[in-house]
């Protein structure tokens, strides 16, 4: 049917912006997958910046879908979809037709990939805003909304991985069945001419219009993003501030941010200082009163950070112990136990040993810094 | 050069007087404890650094299980930094290392109350407190 494709006339299918978009997107998605699926938690900045890069790439690509050269245009994806049944029939007979640009199955895949990537960017911004209280939506996203978005973000991420596999299988199929060098084509832009494509009128790229659109979009995004970026994070508490609390409680352990336990737990703690986690930590009645008032006024119920929301779910057996909460245990379950016994950390309760921003109550992923505990002889 | 010497002289003088002041306050605390010790036991004569040292290094294990001894947190060397069970640094107990140790009567009373309860399971006697401070002041 197709004859020896290598001898056929070569045509320019993918213009430079489309090729650049493709490979930059590949790189950004690899960064996202590595940091998103495998961490570590303090690589969040990489994850976020690769996400912003994907958003910018998608915006540019959508504009190029309007003003790019023929095979980069978005409307070709939709018209190709009309041939999908015929194309699938051809694939089943192992004799698919050679289309210039995206074939019908590929067009469906591209539309799906773009939609899933857009949804990943959107849910990612919500998660960042509501759980970490960072990014453009930090000032307007409640934790509960972000928690839902996190579930969606995860499902979408797995879907994207499945689609990437589908995309690669599709490319391999076409390369094997039609002997079209698709990978080289996405690098050089040149591919053998499809037999039936002779009479097509090819629309040229409109780079000036594209550049103007991109500049205009950038202005709109900046106009929206600038005021949003100055918002204070929704429900982010004040850092530990009570002088007496820091002096008395901070004498033996780091000054736990009041938002890390609910009111009921703080009341239990302040009511049993003579039996305080294995020690007598008695205070004068006046000190107990002032510290109790401070803790009550700034307890987990008053904040909307991730720790405040999740640590509210205290252990029923040990409602005073932060490290007994299901959330704390889940967050720390991959750390080897000897980390907590090392001289620099000493106790699971020593949050500030690894969380550099512990006193703010934020516990940002980026501020996790686990001291090197691998050296011998560090244990007590 | 001359100016630097004068500065040094003034600095050491003020340091010295601050230390002397700290010593005065510690002596006042010790005098108060001595009065209590006499009231409790008319045979009491003077505090002993040696008794204080033995008291510090002992392992009474009569208090809470996690704190069998003073040295659990303060280490056996009073000149070394200690660490609380929650990982917080404790400055050395030795007065030579931490000059303002045992100079704030309220603080001294608070920590003896708590830590004697944790380690011994009871309040310390005035004699025990005085021996303890006398030992640390000599370190």
Of B86, B115, B117, the CB nearest to A350: B86
pLDDT attached to residue A121: 98
A-chain CB neighbours of B86 within 8 Å are 252-254, 277, 346-347, 349-350
DSSP characters over A32-95: HHHHHHH--GGGHHHHHHHHHHHHHHHHHHHHHHHHS-GGG-HHHHHHHHTTHHHHHHHHHTT-
Cβ–Cβ gap A279/B88 under 8 Å: no
Q: How far apart (Å, rounded) are the C-alpha atoms in residues A130 and A141?
A: 5
Do B25 and B95 contact (CB within 8 A), yes or no?
Answer: no
CATH number given to B22-138: 1.10.760.10
The closest CB to that of B87, out of A277, A283, A347, belongs to A347
Q: How far apart are CA A198 and CA B67, in angstroms?
A: 88
**Alpha-carbon distance A331 to A348, whole Å?**
12
Report the percent of chain A where pLDDT is more than 70.
95
* Mean pLDDT value across residues A61-77: 96
pLDDT band of A380, cuts 50, 70, 90: very low
Contact at CB, A282 and B114, closer than 8 angstroms: yes
Query: With an 8 Å Cβ cutoff, are B88 and A281 in contact?
Result: no
- The fold adopted by the segment(s) A5-229 is Fumarate Reductase Cytochrome B subunit (1.20.950)
- Mean pLDDT, range A314-335, rounded to an integer: 95
ipTM for the complex?
Answer: 0.82
Residues B39-68 pLDDT 10s = 999 999 999 999 999 999 999 889 999 999
Q: What confidence score (pLDDT) does residue A197 get?
A: 59
Q: Where in chain A is the domain with CATH 1.20.950.20?
A: 5-229
Burial B34-43 (b: 16+ CB within 10 A, else e): beebeeeeee
Q: Which residues of A touch B110 (CB under 8 A)?
A: 283
Which 3-state string (H, E, C) describes B81-130?
A: CEECCCCCEECCCCCCCCCCCCCCHHHHHHHHHHHHHHHHCCCCCHHHHH
**Nearest chain A Cα distance for residue B138, angstroms:** 25
CB atoms A280 and B117 under 8 Å:
yes
- Segments in A230-284 forming alpha helices (H): 243-248, 263-270
Mutate to test the interface with A, among B62, B74, B88 (most CBs of A within 10 A): B88
pLDDT for A173? 94
User: Quick one: pLDDT at residue A377?
Assistant: 44
Cβ pair B117:A281 closer than 8 A: no
Please tell me the distance from the alpha carbon of residue A267 to that of residue A291, in angstroms, as a whole number: 10
- For chain B, the C-alpha Rg in angstroms (whole number) is 17
For residue A234, the model assigns a pLDDT of: 95
CA distance B5 to chain A (A): 38
Inform me whether the pLDDT recorded for B10 exceeds 90: no
CB contact under 8 A, A278 and B113: no
Domain ranges for chain B, please list them.
22-138
CA atoms within a 13 Å half-sphere pointing along the CA-CB vector of B30: 21
- With beta carbons under 8 A apart, name residues in chain A contacting B67: 278-279
Is B117 in contact with A274 (Cβ distance < 8 A)? yes
- Per-residue pLDDT band for A308 (boundaries 50, 70, 90) equals very high
Asked if A165 has any chain B CB less than 8 Å from its own CB, the reply is: no
* CA pair distance B129, B109, nearest whole angstrom: 9
A337 touches chain B (CB under 8 A): no
CB contact (8 A) between residue A278 and residue B64: yes
Option in B67, B110, B113 nearest A279 (CB): B67
Q: Which is more confidently placed, A341 or A142? A: A142
- Spatial contact of A168 and A185, defined as CB atoms under 8 Å apart: no
Evaluate if residue A362 carries a pLDDT over 80.
yes
Q: Is the pLDDT of residue B7 over 70?
A: no
Among B residues 98-127, those touching chain A with beta carbons less than 8 Å apart: 110, 113-115, 117-118
What is the predicted pLDDT for the residue at A374?
Answer: 66
Interface touch A350/B85, C-beta < 8 Å:
no
Q: Do A274 and B118 touch (CB under 8 A)?
A: no
Residue pairs between chains A and B whose CB atoms are closer than 8 Å: 56
Q: For residue B64, give the nearest of A279, A343, A346 by CB distance.
A: A279
**CA distance, residue A274 to nearest chain B CA (Å):** 8
Chain A touched by B36 (CB under 8 Å) = no
Taking an 8 Å cut-off on Cβ atoms, the answer to whether A253 and B118 are in contact is no
Res A47 pLDDT > 90: yes
Question: Is A252 in Cβ contact with B66 (below 8 Å)?
Answer: no
């Amino acid at each position: 049917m197709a004859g020896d494709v290598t001898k056929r006339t070569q045509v320019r299918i993918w213009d430079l912006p489309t090729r650049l978009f493709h490979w930059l997107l590949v790189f950004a998605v690899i960064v996202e997958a590595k940091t998103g699926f495998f961490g570590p938690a303090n690589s969040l900045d990489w994850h976020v910046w690769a996400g912003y890069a994907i958003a910018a790439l998608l915006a540019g690509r959508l504009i190029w879908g309007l003003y790019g050269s023929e095979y980069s245009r978005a409307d070709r994806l939709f018209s190709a979809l009309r041939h999908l049944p015929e194309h699938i029939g051809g694939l089943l007979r192992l004799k698919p037709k050679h289309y210039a640009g995206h074939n019908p199955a590929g067009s469906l895949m591209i539309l799906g990939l773009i939609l899933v990537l857009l949804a990943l960017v959107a849910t990612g911004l919500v998660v960042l805003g509501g759980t970490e209280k960072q990014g453009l939506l930090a000032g307007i996203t409640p934790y509960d909304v972000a928690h839902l978005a996190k579930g969606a973000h995860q499902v979408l991420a797995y879907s994207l991985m499945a689609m990437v596999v589908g995309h690669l299988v599709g490319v391999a199929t076409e390369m094997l069945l039609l002997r079209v060098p698709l990978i080289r084509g996405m690098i050089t832009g040149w591919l053998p001419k499809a037999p039936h494509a002779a009479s097509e009128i090819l629309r040229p790229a409109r780079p000036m219009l594209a550049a103007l659109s991109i500049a205009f979009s950038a202005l709109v995004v900046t106009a929206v993003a600038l005021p949003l970026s100055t918002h204070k994070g929704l429900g982010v508490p004040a850092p530990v501030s009570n002088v007496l609390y820091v002096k008395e409680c901070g004498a033996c352990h780091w000054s736990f941010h009041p938002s890390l336990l609910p009111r009921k737990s703080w009341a239990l703690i302040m009511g049993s200082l003579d039996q305080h986690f294995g020690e007598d930590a008695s205070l004068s009645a006046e000190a107990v009163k002032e510290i109790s008032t401070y803790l009550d006024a700034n307890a987990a119920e008053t904040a909307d950070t991730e720790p405040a929301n999740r640590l509210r779910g205290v252990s029923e057996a040990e409602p005073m112990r932060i490290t007994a909460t299901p959330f704390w245990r889940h967050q720390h379950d991959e750390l080897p136990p000897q980390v907590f016994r090392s001289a620099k950390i000493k106790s699971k309760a020593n949050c500030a040993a690894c969380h550099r921003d512990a006193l703010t109550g934020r516990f940002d992923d980026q501020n996790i810094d686990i001291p090197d505990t691998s050296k011998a002889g560090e244990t007590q | 050069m001359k100016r630097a010497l004068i500065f040094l002289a003034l600095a050491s003088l003020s340091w010295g007087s601050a230390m002397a002041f700290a010593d005065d306050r510690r002596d006042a605390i010790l005098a108060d404890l001595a009065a209590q010790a006499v009231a409790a036991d008319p045979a009491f004569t003077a505090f002993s650094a040696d008794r204080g040292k033995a008291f510090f290094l002992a392992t009474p294990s009569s208090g809470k299980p996690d704190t069998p001894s003073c040295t659990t947190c303060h280490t056996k060397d009073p000149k070394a930094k200690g660490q609380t069970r929650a990982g917080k640094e404790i400055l050395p107990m030795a007065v030579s290392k931490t000059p303002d140790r045992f100079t704030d009567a309220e603080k001294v009373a608070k920590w003896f109350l708590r830590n004697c309860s944790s380690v011994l399971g009871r309040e310390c006697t005035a004699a025990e407190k005085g021996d303890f401070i006398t030992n640390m002041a000599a370190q």
